[in-house]
Every structure is written in structure tokens, then in C-alpha cells.
């Protein structure tokens, strides 16, 4: 098989699967690892894909970021169940942080059950008709507004975070991968997420299982940065095994639907 023909097949695989593994490509095309590395490098230079450790991912997937509205209609049943389970981890008197995202938006709706909380967020998409007890203080971080996703980011947001300490941070993610960790399409968003994690005593990841085996542009956390993962029953076994091996507490909700994974 000629090199250009092989690269055509590689591009087709990337677009179908969102990601490919270098070792699998070596075996599939019966070529050396150096040949595959060269193919992937040339394809990345041509803007056809993005190389990762051990393979490559679709450039469309790396850069794509759905709007809040688009996220809201994706797996709403799972997200609401995850939010309800996450609320069980909150205690009166906690200072909590809610990252911008649809699952944390649903978690916010559970805060009316508490009498005393300090809630920090960089999201401007909060339920405006929710009646909260007087003992719940809401602090919205300053920063530059990102339209579409309704989050605040930038140096001002980071400075605000430098001034506070968080008991529990509830974090959202666009993508999660066994090797690459937790990623998001926007670099400024990743910067804020990293700062949130740094300023928090306990980091709780809220993610439905549709995010697995995906990698976005900017990494904001390695798996060792996470203390708790709240997800649904569709999480692949290899992810559960990895979380257990790293000592990460897992809470899986059963929504009665099975997610399909490649």
C-alpha cells in the first residue's frame, strides 16, 4: 500500500472513531512504528488530525465546543441523576464551587435543600427563579464572558480564585480519556479549571459516560487531580478499574439506559 493511500485510510478511521491508536495502525497496515509516526506527523502538519500520546484524534473533535443549549439536550436524564447524587456529597456549612456546565447547572437546583452554604461559580447560567434560603451566599467570579457557554474566564477570574479557598469543587468536563485525562476545547477555560482545582480541598468530577474516549484541545487535569467521580452506569469497565486503582471514589447512578461505547 502506498503512503498516501494508507494516510487516506487513517483519516477515515479517525473521522469514524474520533481517535486511533498508533500500535493498532502498525498492526493493521503492517508497517513500522516510525512509519506511522511519520504519517501522523505529516497529517497533523496538513491540518487533518491532531497527534496525541500513542495515537491521534480528530481535529474537528478537538476544537469543537457545543453551546450551553446544545449540551443541555445531550444526555439530560444522566446529567440530572448525576447532579442529584452529587448533592448528597454537600454538607451544610460547606464552601463549594460549581464549574460552568449543564450538570453543575442541575446541581445548583438542589441547593435549596440546604440552609447554609457559600457557593462560588464562574457560570452566568444559573436558575433565576430558584428560591434559596437566606443562609446560602452566592459569589459569582469576575472575568471575561464567553458567549454560548455562559462562563467567565481570564486573568480577573484567576485573581478572584487566588483570594479564596474552596472545600469542594464540582467540576465539569468536555472529554475524558484514560491517557490524556480531562480536557476542554478552550485554553482559557482550561486555565480557570486548573486554578479551581488548585484552590479546592476536594475535587469532584461530574461527567456522563458519553464523554469517555474523547480528547479536546486543552488538558486541565490529570486523573490524580480528582478525588471523586460521579458518573452513570454506562462508564466502561476499564475506566472504573483505573479509578479504583488510583484510589478515586466512584459514584455511579443507574438511569435505566445503557450507553454504547466503541
Cβ neighbours, 10 Å, residue 136: 15
Residues 168 and 97: beta-carbon distance below 8 Å:
yes
* Structure confidence at residue 262 (pLDDT): 37
Residue ranges and CATH numbers for the domains of the chain are 3-63 (1.10.10.10), 68-253 (3.40.50.1360)
Q: What are phi and psi of 214, to 5 degrees?
A: -130, 145
* Structure confidence at residue 74 (pLDDT): 53
* Structure confidence at residue 224 (pLDDT): 97
Instruction: For residue 9, give the C-alpha cell.
Output: 485510510
* Structure confidence at residue 223 (pLDDT): 97
Give the chain's end-to-end CA distance (angstroms, integer). Answer: 27
* Structure confidence at residue 75 (pLDDT): 62
Report d(CA 167, CA 199) in Å as an integer.
9
Per-block average pLDDT, block size 10, for the chain (262 residues)? 82 80 92 93 81 79 55 70 97 97 93 97 85 94 89 95 97 92 92 97 95 87 98 94 97 70 38
Instruction: For residue 152, give the C-alpha cell.
Output: 467567565
* Structure confidence at residue 61 (pLDDT): 61
Report d(CA 13, CA 145) in Å as an integer.
37
Amino acid at each position: 500500500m502506498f503512503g498516501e493511500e494508507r494516510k487516506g485510510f487513517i483519516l477515515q478511521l479517525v473521522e469514524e472513531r474520533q481517535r486511533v491508536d498508533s500500535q493498532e495502525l502498525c498492526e493493521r497496515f503492517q508497517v513500522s512504528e516510525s512509519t506511522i509516526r511519520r504519517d501522523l506527523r505529516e497529517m497533523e502538519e496538513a491540518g487533518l488530525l491532531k497527534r496525541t500520546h500513542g495515537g491521534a484524534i480528530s481535529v474537528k473533535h478537538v476544537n469543537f465546543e457545543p453551546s450551553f443549549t446544545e449540551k443541555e439536550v445531550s444526555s439530560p436524564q444522566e446529567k440530572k441523576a448525576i447532579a442529584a447524587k452529587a448533592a448528597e456529597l454537600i454538607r451544610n456549612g460547606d464552601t463549594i464551587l460549581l464549574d460552568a456546565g449543564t450538570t453543575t447547572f442541575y446541581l445548583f437546583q438542589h441547593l435549596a435543600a440546604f440552609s447554609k452554604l457559600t457557593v462560588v461559580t464562574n457560570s452566568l447560567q444559573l436558575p433565576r427563579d430558584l428560591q434559596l434560603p437566606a443562609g446560602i451566599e452566592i459569589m459569582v467570579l469576575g472575568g471575561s464572558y464567553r458567549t454560548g457557554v455562559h462562563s467567565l474566564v481570564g486573568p480577573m477570574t484567576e485573581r478572584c480564585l487566588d483570594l479564596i479557598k474552596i472545600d469542594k469543587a464540582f467540576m465539569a468536563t468536555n472529554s475524558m480519556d484514560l491517557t490524556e485525562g480531562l480536557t476542554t476545547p478552550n485554553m482559557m477555560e482550561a486555565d480557570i479549571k486548573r486554578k479551581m482545582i488548585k484552590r479546592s480541598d476536594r475535587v469532584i468530577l461530574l461527567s456522563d459516560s458519553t464523554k469517555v474516549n474523547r480528547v479536546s484541545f486543552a488538558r486541565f487535569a490529570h486523573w490524580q487531580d480528582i478525588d471523586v467521580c460521579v458518573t452513570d452506569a454506562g462508564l466502561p469497565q476499564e475506566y472504573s478499574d483505573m479509578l479504583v486503582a488510583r484510589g478515586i471514589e466512584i459514584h455511579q447512578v443507574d438511569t435505566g439506559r445503557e450507553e454504547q461505547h466503541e
